[in-house]
Amino acid sequence: MKPYLTGHYTPHVDEITAHGLVVEGHLPPELSGRLIRNGHNPKPGVTPTHWFKGSGMVHGIRLREGRAEWYRNRWVRTPALDGAPYMTEKGPDLTASTAGTHVIEHAGRLLALCESNLPFELTPELETVGAYDFDGKLTNVMTAHPKQDPVTGELHFFSSSPFPPYLTYHIASEKGELLYSEEVPHASASLKHDFAITERHVVFVEGTVTFDHTERSGIPYAWKDEQPARIGVMPRKKSGGGSVRWFGIEPGSMLHAANAYEDDHGNIVLEGPTVDREGFRRSWNWWVGAPERGAVPNSRSYNRQWVIDLVRGTVRERIIDDLVVEFPSINEDLIGRQHRYQYAISFPDDQGVGNFGVVKYDRTTGGRQLRHVGDGQLPSEAIFVPAEGSTSETSKASKTSKASEDEGYLLTVVSDLHADASRLLVLDATDLQAAPVATVHLPRRVAAGIHGSWIPDRA
């Protein structure tokens, strides 16, 4: 049995809606909105050749006025759900998406994302509307990890392809109009899953994983030592545009960026978990279900920092911590700005020893706080929601004081194999060791997914 079809990852065979969920503790009044998560969930009888090939399924939890009003799950109804091929006689079908990686809200639209296709729009009740192409202006794919500038409201994203043009940078306005598209010079076929923005720059990462036409899993990428690892830095359009500068870094692969910013010396600081060759081999083998695989899907993934000196043209890099982590997150009011606190999901070590947990890093003191969720339990990506009246809620990014940056809550859905159930934990982000602020009991065990978003009612 493929590992992504068993245990925490066992796919759902149906869609349900449940109302009036049981809540322990007290849901804060500012938690008025929807937590929506996305992940790969093939239909019954379908065994995808790669974890990422499974069709998307979104799970939503509606919170309002201290109540958990509903839970619902829905397949993202793309042509791929019914087996439509990506490649046709006319070329790639950009609507044949799994749409199973992420889900965001921008300009009033709820979008399910998968980096190899167009996004798919959903209703507030998670029903599928259809492929969305920014009124015909987006003619290539969209990354699953766009970044919304917390000050301008602009949505920054990219299109990546194993064939030219390899990398295109896009900006959409706060109202959802595609304003700007630019091919990034001198990019390669290296896998680019995530990126980062700062106040003045956009930062791309090309790792040692690149296009490989011999890969038969349906995801045509592989580790190749001859592919140089590097970071590309390019001015944002509002800074006047300009050519990208590429900086060589140590071999590795970064799936997710925690954040990037410009420090007081004008250097760009970028952080995110990375894997080496062996870590990638173990992870990839888990994703395709090969016999020689890691015990967990993210093996030897350690948080790394790069400091890019734009004046000297150099990069300093280091491993920040020896904890195996993935799915980094921050207070999103600080996207592109210097942040103090960083969150992630911790994994058992590369031998499968230990439990999953939620970790908080204090980048000022260098300390970390770790909350294990227990044997047989797996938390989802922890999403930060500011507390009502916090400085980050009222003043936004550039004015946020570091003392108040963590005033808020972390939302994570925990799958419990022993109870065959799931619960939404609302954790106090200032102290992960404190008892949960609230626990919402869900009507079923929610399969482990990938990414999600908190969408407040004001959005």
The pLDDT tens digits for 327-379 are: 999 999 999 999 999 999 999 876 667 789 999 999 999 999 999 999 999 99
pLDDT (0 to 100) of residue 458: 83
What is the predicted pLDDT for the residue at 384?
A: 98
The average pLDDT across 138-155 equals 97
In a domain? residue 143: no
* Residue 43 identity: K
Neighbouring-strand partners of residue 35: 61, 454
pLDDT at 87: 80
Average pLDDT, the chain: 93
Query: Does residue 122 lie within any of the structural domains?
Result: no
What is the rounded average pLDDT of the residues 301-318? Answer: 97
Domain count, the chain: 1
> What is the pLDDT at residue 394?
41
CA distance 89 to 275: 37
Q: Output the pLDDT for position 400.
A: 46
Longest dimension (CA), the chain: 59
Residues in the annotated binding site for Fe cation: 145, 193, 256, 451
Q: Is 80 exceeded by the pLDDT of residue 380?
A: yes
More confident: 1 or 109: 109
Determine the pLDDT at residue 241: 56
123 lies in a domain?
no
Phi, psi of 415 (to 5 degrees): -90, 130
What's the mean pLDDT in 296-324?
Answer: 94
pLDDT reading at 391 higher than 70: no
pLDDT value of residue 291: 86
- Residue 144 located in a structural domain: no
Q: How confident is the model at residue 90 (pLDDT cuts 50, 70, 90)?
A: confident
Q: pLDDT over 70 for what percent of the chain?
A: 95
The pLDDT assigned to 395 comes to: 46
Domain contains 446: yes
The answer to whether residue 74 is domain-embedded is no
209-262 residue pLDDT tens:
999 999 999 999 999 999 999 999 999 976 555 689 999 999 999 999 999 999
Is 362 contained in some domain?
yes
Note down the domain range covering 344: 3-66+186-456
Residue 128 placed within a domain: no
Distance, first Cα to last Cα, the chain: 41
What is the reported pTM? 0.94
Bind-site residues: 145, 193, 256, 451
